[in-house]
Amino acid sequence: MSQTQETKIYDAAPSWSNFVTVKTTLPRRPFPPNSARQPFHTERLTLRPPTKDDLQFLRRLRTQPEVMQWTAAKRIDNDLAETESRLTPFLTPNDALTYNFAICLKETGEFVGIGGFHNGGFDQGEGKSLFGWPEVGYMFLKEFWGKGFGTEFLKGFKELWSKLERETVEGLRVDERSVVRKADGSAEEVLAALTTDVNGRSQGVLRKCGFEEFARWRDEAEGGTGDVLPSYRWCPLREVRE
Ligand SMILES: CC(C)(COP(=O)(O)OP(=O)(O)OC[C@H]1O[C@@H](n2cnc3c(N)ncnc32)[C@H](O)[C@@H]1OP(=O)(O)O)[C@@H](O)C(=O)NCCC(=O)NCCS
């Protein structure tokens, strides 16, 4: 069959029942608490732990339709309570399971976005993580797009993520397509990222940061968006060894 836009066959959606079990490494949890996370500086940005005082900034970010159209919900937050529920997972004591950062301008401290490991879900069973691996995400106020901040943030976050203490995990269930085998049969640790095929900016950020696409599938599940979702991986420890 010719692969026109209408007939293109995509990869299958990730399905827990088809996952394989691997031996790999993962960052050790609990993550270092917010109180122990020092602000991390890139050329123009500071990555620091979110605080409850970031609520109004997060509200501004999460009420920009241009930003929120790229989230799973595809809509702005309904009210301040909903925004608050999106900040709480990053505050103590929930920082034990998340590693997410407020992203600010280094010079002024002005809040420009948020990014990192935010959903807390990996090695916790079906439905907790799309591919079984931790996933990275990020969003910036629209006024700050197109200045290279997305790329600068992700490069900084990669460094922070790579340096976290590791533990060996024997029976992690992951999407087989994401697996990069090592010579001894174990799997390279993966940090995954999911975007949509029409989000050129986000794909640009991922590619420039060394993430590679391993699957591209259409979200046809009940209640799904129908979007085509390129799925990316990056192996933190492989880069450290090279
Ligand atoms: C996605 C987002 C983080 C990108 O941040 P940013 O600071 O604008 O990104 P950068 O400037 O670092 O890089 C974007 C790159 O993509 C490129 N790009 C932009 N539009 C593109 C398109 N349609 N197709 C391909 N590449 C594109 C840019 O040219 C740039 O690369 P370059 O620096 O080599 O020119 C930001 O737009 C955002 O917050 N969007 C809303 C939330 C979101 O989409 N989050 C990601 C969900 S997966």
Task: Give the pLDDT of residue 222.
Answer: 80
Whether 123 has a pLDDT exceeding 70, the answer reads no
* Residue with CA closest to ligand 1 atom 14: 201
| Residue 231 is assigned to a structural domain of this protein | no
Residue 99 to residue 161: CA distance in whole angstroms: 9
| Residue 173 is assigned to a structural domain of this protein | yes
| Residue 62 is assigned to a structural domain of this protein | yes
Task: Give the pLDDT of residue 121.
Answer: 72
Task: Give the pLDDT of residue 191.
Answer: 97
* Residue with CA closest to ligand 1 atom 34: 204
Residue 241, both tokens:
């060894």
Please give the residue range of the domain that contains residue 100: 18-179
> Which tens digit of pLDDT belongs to each residue from 5-44?
555 678 888 988 889 999 999 999 999 999 999 999 999 9
| Residue 82 is assigned to a structural domain of this protein | yes
Task: Give the pLDDT of residue 232.
Answer: 98
Residue 71 CA to ligand 1 centre (angstroms): 14
Q: Any idea how long the chain is?
A: 242
DSSP lists the bridge partners of residue 40 as 47
Task: Give the pLDDT of residue 126.
Answer: 63
- Residue 205 near ligand 1, beta carbon < 6 Å: yes
Ligand 1 atom at minimum distance from 194 CA: 48
Residue 67 CA to ligand 1 centre (angstroms): 11
| Residue 57 is assigned to a structural domain of this protein | yes
| Residue 212 is assigned to a structural domain of this protein | no
- Residue 138 near ligand 1, beta carbon < 6 Å: yes
Task: Give the pLDDT of residue 125.
Answer: 63
Task: Give the pLDDT of residue 170.
Answer: 93
Whether 2 has a pLDDT exceeding 60, the answer reads no
Whether 82 has a pLDDT exceeding 60, the answer reads yes
Task: Give the pLDDT of residue 10.
Answer: 86
| Residue 79 is assigned to a structural domain of this protein | yes
| Residue 223 is assigned to a structural domain of this protein | no
DSSP state of 184: T
Percent of the chain, pLDDT > 70? Answer: 93
> Which tens digit of pLDDT belongs to each residue from 150-209?
999 999 999 999 999 999 999 999 999 999 999 999 999 999 999 999 999 999 999 999
Total domain count, the chain: 1
Query: Beta strand 111-117 with 212-218: parallel, antiparallel or unpaired?
Result: unpaired
Task: Give the pLDDT of residue 242.
Answer: 66
- Residue 202 near ligand 1, beta carbon < 6 Å: yes
Residue 200 CA to ligand 1 centre (angstroms): 6
pLDDT, the chain, mean: 92
Domain with 71 in it: what CATH number? 3.40.630.30
Closest CA to 227 of 58, 72, 96: 72
Whether 48 has a pLDDT exceeding 80, the answer reads yes
Q: Which residue has the higher pLDDT, 73 or 60?
A: 60
* Residue with CA closest to ligand 1 atom 22: 200
Look-up of token digits 């301040």: 80
DSSP string, 105-129: ETTT--EEEEEEE-S--SSS-TTSS
Residue 99 to residue 118: CA distance in whole angstroms: 6
